[in-house]
Structure 1
Amino acid sequence: MKTKYYNISKITGLFLFLALFSISGCLGDFEEINRNKLRPTEKEIDYDGVASGGYFTDFQKRIIPTRGRGEGTDRINEYQITLNLASDSWAGYFSPTLNKFNNGNNFTTYYMIVGWVDYTYTTMYRNIVNPWFQIRQQTHEVKKDQDGNVTFEKKDIVNQSTYSIAQIIKIMGLHKTTDMFGPLPYNKVGSGSFLVPYDSQEVIYRSFFKELQEAIETLNIYANNQSTLLKNYDGVYHGDVNKWMKLGNSLMLRLAMRVRYADESLAREYANKAITNPGGLIENVADIAMLKSEGNFEYDNSLKLISDGYNDTRMGATIQTYLKGFNDPRIASYFRKGSINNQNDYFALRAGIPMPNNVKAHNSFSLPNIESETPVYWFKASETYFLKAEAALYGLIGGNAEEFYNQGIKTSFQENGVALGDYLTRDAIPASFEDPFNSAYNAPRPSGTSKKWSSASTQEQHLEQIITQKYLAIFPDGQEAWSEWRRTGYPKQILVFENKTNQGILTGNGSNQGVRRFPFPQSEKIQNTENVAKAGALLNGPDNSATRLWWDKNPNIN
């Protein structure tokens, strides 16, 4: 498995070749690509959502690439390239054990490898749209007029509710994708072709909000009579419709806060819908959205093989400075101690350092404390409280920001099975970063923020506290952490040691600059040329990785 990954990384141009010649521009081959041997017969169509149920199990494994027990390494490789060597690194959660990929010119040093960008687009866009489209076909009456125009008409409440769950899953995945690239083919891709015009990120987000609202309302109607749907195919909630409503509302709140700097009125509207909609929010550990091995559902956490099998990732410098500086007991839940010079401690790697002469030099640094059966988290309960804390801090919703903040920390400790102690009342600030082998890689503490809430702090200081604690709570979701860092500038990062960009990226000061987006993939520029060219006008600058997304409008970041 290890050799398979290295072969991929050494011939990254193969990704582009595969993207151009093995991926169809039309969705007509979806059924063969996604064919499931357990798929029901035509006679079973429309029975309790079972007709489309066969697509859900694999669909869910594509949102954060996760393999089923005993499957090959494709999903793990997808996770490594699209997340672990990208957002996980840019957010400071992880750093590669050796900066060997493409001779150090890779995502972790701000170099956008063409094949990797294409692979990311395929993984995070096409692979998510494929099963969603199949479910849409199964749950609607599909009609085509004499001009070839396709329409999708609603069926009964069972099919509508099945599709509503698919909508929530789709948005859970594609909001990550638009937060990577910006504009995407979205509203017109449902017609059956990928070769359609791009929508701006603002249009996509407004569509997300409307679709989530409709999905929640539909599921609420269904839940008035039945509480279970797709039980045998749903690895997240095992068919619990009420929990799907909670996820839909919580996702709505996440997206509402994402757009706060771009459109405050839109953020206020949907933050309030999220907290008042039927179903409620994810606020208890029992309601966490995750893929967890249970019953017939068995998953292998991708980070386990990347860290222990491939030996390709270690604790990042940024998260180490906050966890150690705060004397945070969650550090033992997240990482394992390493041993250097007979000293057992949590040793981290700074991103972008040159590859050492001794290839085993960093093996003793801290590994993620993750096993194959560790759940793959989509949305933790603690995140909800930090979202509410920020919303209350800026008057978008009612409530007390300090209380939400403290509850977020308490819930995170509960999620990790760690005693809270005096964590909330004890002052502490982040630590400086020290490399145990080479002092040239050392860095001063990234921030002077404290974890203890103080009435003397400014609104901006409180925001830094909220986002910093959210960052610690949502680990290891590097994609979400990277998005929140771009949006707010927090938590302040340990800078990449070497910036080898080919995309105009500036290193910044730990709060700004850095990677803001992925460029449009080369495969799209060749296959969907005219629409990609037009999509360039939807950006706030050139099509490179220094251009900020639509929601990336924080006036304090320049």
Structure 2
Amino acid sequence: MKTFKYKLIAVATLCLGAVSCDTDYISDPDNPEVAPTTQLVNNSQFDLAFNLNDQWLAGRGTLGFSQYWGGTFYTDENRYQLRVSQINDFWNDPYRILTDLKEVIRLNEDPATADLMSAYGDNNNQIQAARIMMAYAFSKLVDTFGPVPYWSYGQKDNADFQALRLDEGINSPKYTSDEVIYDDLLNELQQAANMMDLSKTVFTEGDTFCNGDAANWVKFAHSLRLRLAAHLNSVNPTLAQQVYAESADKALMSNSDNISFTFGTDDLTGGPWHDAFTVGARRDFAPTVSLMDLMYNRVGPFSSINDEDPRVDQFFDTRNDTDEIIGVPYGFGDTPARNVIDEGIPDVEIIKPDFVQPIIEFAEIEFIRSEFEGWDQTHYLNGVEASMERWGVASSDASSYISALPAATEETVLTQKYLALYMDGMESWTEYRRTGFPMTLSVPGDTYDYEVENEDGTTQTVTATFTTLIPGLNEIPSRVTYPQNEQLLNKANWEEARNTLSDGDQMFSKIFWDVN
């Protein structure tokens, strides 16, 4: 897995204005003992955007679970047999990022370093931004595994929140209930937004998410609250509605507010799909049949529309200059996948180095507003329009498509939300688990017919069945199992967490909000 490393700027060069430089921290200017918080934040944002969306966690994981992409050659992951290294990365990458973000907080609170860090932004605002990013990272852990070791700034003295406390001698942390974590994440985001000083800079540089603007960080926090509220809407509608009322008018209001990460223009700083397709010369990912059938309106709630979804040309390119992308069957094994000729590849805009990775976008927030306001038509259409605009669809094509859409219903809103979440496989997977939409995904037990050529030149139809490789798993996974190291190194706490899950540490155990 690619890990991006930034060259740390010598602290000696960053002693600006009234900020005094403690020589204890710059005894070796080429190897500063204290990293600038802007570097820690920039590296954390890069890793959140890259490592959680690369060819391993997304391409062979969540983009597959969501059936945006399927494997054209290696298909075991399409049948949910994840590699040990993938499961480890689902766990280790967020915790490594969280460690850096906690360090940002420490550097801004510690009297020995706070003045030095104030050169990189307001101390208080840096802390609040770190809390928001930590909430984002912890939400990914919870939505992947369920109960996990947890820590938060607002309850840093909570004895049951034992993650990230190795410096205190806690190397076998307890797991916290996924429901308890959700409650605390909502509070963390609310407090961080309320404590952000809009008159001061957050970070002087290195902040790709929000460009150092406190108002943008507030919108980010409230948008994440809306996302979490949507996850809770079926299991705790009272709390979900309360959060919606508190945050709906403070969240993203246009595509100009989108929270995203734009990668660099070279091989070192480029995005995960440039790394996979160009640097690594991968050719084993393609759109799925289920997605192509939906976008060409062959199935689903938009089948009354004559023309295809205009985003299809922004999402994918054909391999062989064909008029229509077929897609690969997902979950049916190697032979059917390898039998497809014109399966398509991700569009050049996705493979280019400076791909813009979505973190949370206005279109998603509009669909959430539609849901909470009784499947509101205006927010529904706004969401579709925002997605079209974000992907560069010509306004005339977007208008033609939108004018033909059926009215807002649970199915139409959530299916359009699925399309708008393209390239955010983890969030789309969460949406499917909590809602069951879109209803067009292939599921275990489905069959797929394909033609094969015999040695004599004749053809025959062969039927494949979607079967998983995980005993007892007869559905799209509800979670990822805990890493094996947790069973070895943190066994007592792992066993306690396993016993709280509906079916133990299995891919078919439900996370608390999954009541679909």
Equivalent of residue 367 in structure 1, options 329, 345, 351: 345
Whichever residue aligns with residue 183 of structure 1, its letter is P
Q: What is the aligned partner in structure 1 of residue 255 from structure 2?
A: 285
Q: What is the aligned partner in structure 2 of residue 266 from structure 1?
A: 239
For the pair 1:502 / 2:470, whether they are aligned, the reply is yes
**Where does 1:28-427 land on structure 2 (aligned, <5 Å)?**
37-38=8-9, 40=11, 51-65=36-50, 75=51, 79-98=54-73, 100=74, 104=75, 106-123=76-93, 125-141=94-110, 158-186=122-150, 187-192=161-166, 193-219=170-196, 222-223=197-198, 225-226=199-200, 228-276=201-249, 280-293=250-263, 299-308=269-278, 309-325=281-297, 326=302, 327-339=308-320, 343-356=322-335, 362=340, 364-369=342-347, 370=350, 371-393=352-374, 401-418=376-393, 419=395, 420-426=398-404
**2:264–2:354 Cα contact (<8 Å) kept:** no
**2:6–2:43 Cα contact (<8 Å) kept:** no
SS at match of 1:189: coil
Partner Cα distance (2:265, 2:19) in 1: 22
SS at match of 1:423: helix
Partner Cα distance (2:215, 2:261) in 1: 17
SS at match of 1:550: coil
The 1:338–1:130 alpha-carbon spacing in structure 2 relative to 1, beyond 3 Å, is same
**1:337–1:347 Cα contact (<8 Å) kept:** no
Partner Cα distance (1:295, 1:97) in 2: 28
> TM-score scaled to structure 1, two decimals?
0.73
Partner Cα distance (1:38, 1:317) in 2: 48
The 1:311–1:180 alpha-carbon spacing in structure 2 relative to 1, beyond 3 Å, is same
SS at match of 2:183: helix
The 1:348–1:131 alpha-carbon spacing in structure 2 relative to 1, beyond 3 Å, is same
**1:306–1:313 Cα contact (<8 Å) kept:** no
**2:328–2:337 Cα contact (<8 Å) kept:** no
For the pair 1:546 / 2:508, whether they are aligned, the reply is yes
The 1:410–1:529 alpha-carbon spacing in structure 2 relative to 1, beyond 3 Å, is same
Partner Cα distance (1:136, 1:477) in 2: 28
1:305 deviates by 3.4
Whichever residue aligns with residue 68 of structure 2, its letter is Y
Partner Cα distance (1:83, 1:185) in 2: 23
SS at match of 1:505: coil
Whichever residue aligns with residue 378 of structure 2, its letter is E
SS at match of 1:514: coil
1:47 deviates by 5.9
Deviations along 1:3-50, whole A, 9 cap, x unmatched?
Answer: x99xxxxxxxxxxxxxxxxxxxxxxxxxxx989522635985996999
Q: What is the aligned partner in structure 2 of residue 530 from structure 1?
A: 492
Whichever residue aligns with residue 84 of structure 1, its letter is G
SS at match of 1:37: coil
> TM-score scaled to structure 2, two decimals?
0.79
1:294 deviates by 7.3
Q: What is the aligned partner in structure 1 of residue 24 from structure 2?
A: none
Q: What is the aligned partner in structure 1 of residue 449 from structure 2?
A: none
1:297 deviates by 13
Partner Cα distance (1:503, 1:392) in 2: 41
Q: What is the aligned partner in structure 1 of residue 406 from structure 2?
A: 452
Deviations along 1:137-195, whole A, 9 cap, x unmatched?
Answer: 2122389xxxxxxxx9xx99922210111111122222112111001000321433452
Deviations along 1:465-484, whole A, 9 cap, x unmatched?
Answer: 11100111121111111100
Partner Cα distance (1:358, 1:176) in 2: 30
Structure 2 residue runs of 5 or longer lacking an equivalent are 21-33, 151-160, 303-307, 445-464
Whichever residue aligns with residue 540 of structure 1, its letter is S
The 1:480–1:338 alpha-carbon spacing in structure 2 relative to 1, beyond 3 Å, is same
1:547 deviates by 0.7
Whichever residue aligns with residue 495 of structure 1, its letter is V
Identity in percent: 20
Deviations along 1:514-543, whole A, 9 cap, x unmatched?
Answer: 200011111111111111111123322221
SS at match of 2:110: strand
SS at match of 1:163: helix
Q: What is the aligned partner in structure 2 of residue 437 from structure 1?
A: none
**1:503–1:545 Cα contact (<8 Å) kept:** no
1:295 deviates by 10
For the pair 1:518 / 2:480, whether they are aligned, the reply is yes
1:52 deviates by 1.8
**1:338–1:344 Cα contact (<8 Å) kept:** no
Q: What is the aligned partner in structure 1 of residue 31 from structure 2?
A: none
Give the count of matched residue pairs. Answer: 445
The 1:295–1:217 alpha-carbon spacing in structure 2 relative to 1, beyond 3 Å, is farther
1:286 deviates by 1.1
CA RMSD of aligned residues (A): 3.2
SS at match of 2:403: coil
Partner Cα distance (1:194, 1:332) in 2: 49
1:252 deviates by 0.6
Deviations along 1:456-503, whole A, 9 cap, x unmatched?
Answer: xxxxxx111111001111211111111000000000112355323325
